[in-house]
Amino acid sequence: MTIITRRPITSSLRGQQFLSHKDLTKKKPEKKLIAPLKKTGGRNAYGRITTRHIGGGAKRKYRVIDFRWSTRDVLGKIVAFEYDPNRNVSIALVVYRNGAKRYMLRPEELNVGDFVLASVKAEAKVGNSLPLRNIPVGFFIHNVEIAPGRGATLARSAGGAIQLLGKEGKLAILKMPSGETRTVCIDSWATVGRLSNAEYKNVTLGKAGRSRHRGIRPTVRGMAMNPVDHPHGGGEGRSKSGSHPVTPWGKGCKGTRTRKRKSSAILKRRK
């Protein structure tokens, strides 16, 4: 998949980039594999904004992806590649020999007409899903479970891949895309290969409207506000006043720690 740069006919098109979708073979989603997707506008059950900069955007329907490999030990055929507005990676429509249809994330080097299999006895090739116990060391994988039966949670975005570094007893050692090294249960399932759309990270939106279409509202700098609205606000001209940058509520901008304690599963933290 290649990046297309628009001709600068207008100022909004200058520097604007898109991903080519010529390799997608189907435009309309499978009716039985979509679900309604309600927008929140960043508000909770009480109607209060809990996440800023969310609102608007184009209407979407959720594509139900099979992250639990519900159809196992049955050979499936890739019949189409589709666009998914809810994620940055393409999806593949799989039709199994028992008549079931499922969506899966599209790996690189997988083509329409190829066959995939989710089984303990499956061959470790691109598109096939099997336990980490049966995947050779050194292979790149995606759609990885943290615990058996929980469903895939790791490496699900465009170009995502985790390298299987080794196996020790009941644990598999993984090198994450962030550089972190961690362990998961060796009986957790994963899909072999690297996900498609690796060029997605290089796309330039080019104009504010494309962010609004995605449901992302503008972010105003605190320095451009009044003192009543932000700790950085006010003053004559642009003034940092010698203080450390803070959030609108006066807290430090480094963020809060989300891990309450050190996890024994993490062998090496990301840099």
The ranges assigned to domains in the chain are 3-201+263-268
> What single string gives the DSSP state of each residue in 171-189?
EEEEE-TTS-EEEEETT-E
Task: Identify the CA nearest to 96 among candidates 77, 114, 122, 119.
Answer: 77
Reported as half-sphere exposure (CB side, CA atoms, 13 A), residue 160 has a value of: 20
Q: How far apart are CA 144 and CA 107, in angstroms?
A: 13
Q: Which pLDDT value is given to residue 241? A: 74
At residue 269, the pLDDT reads: 85
User: How many angstroms separate the CA atoms of 209 and 201, rounded?
Assistant: 19
The one-letter amino acid code at 239 reads S
φ/ψ of 163, rounded to 5, equals -100, 130
Residue 213's pLDDT is 96
Residue 84, number of CB atoms within 10 A of its CB: 17
- List of long-range contacts for 7-11, beta carbons under 8 Å, 24+ apart: none
**What pLDDT score was predicted for residue 262?**
79
How confident is the model at residue 254, as a pLDDT? Answer: 77
Q: How is domain 3-201+263-268 classified at the CATH fold level?
A: OB fold (Dihydrolipoamide Acetyltransferase, E2P) (2.40.50)
| Strand, coil or helix: 224 | helix
Which pTM does this prediction carry? 0.89
How many CB atoms are closer than 10 A to CB 117? 20
Per-residue pLDDT of the chain (271 residues; tens, 9 = 90+): 789 998 899 888 888 998 988 889 988 999 999 999 999 999 999 999 999 999 999 999 999 999 999 999 999 999 999 999 999 999 999 999 999 999 999 999 999 999 999 999 999 999 999 999 999 999 999 999 999 999 999 999 999 999 999 999 999 999 999 999 999 999 999 999 999 999 999 999 999 999 999 999 999 999 999 999 999 999 888 887 788 889 999 888 877 777 777 788 888 888 7
CA-CA distances (angstroms) from residue 9 to 73, 202, 212? 53, 22, 22
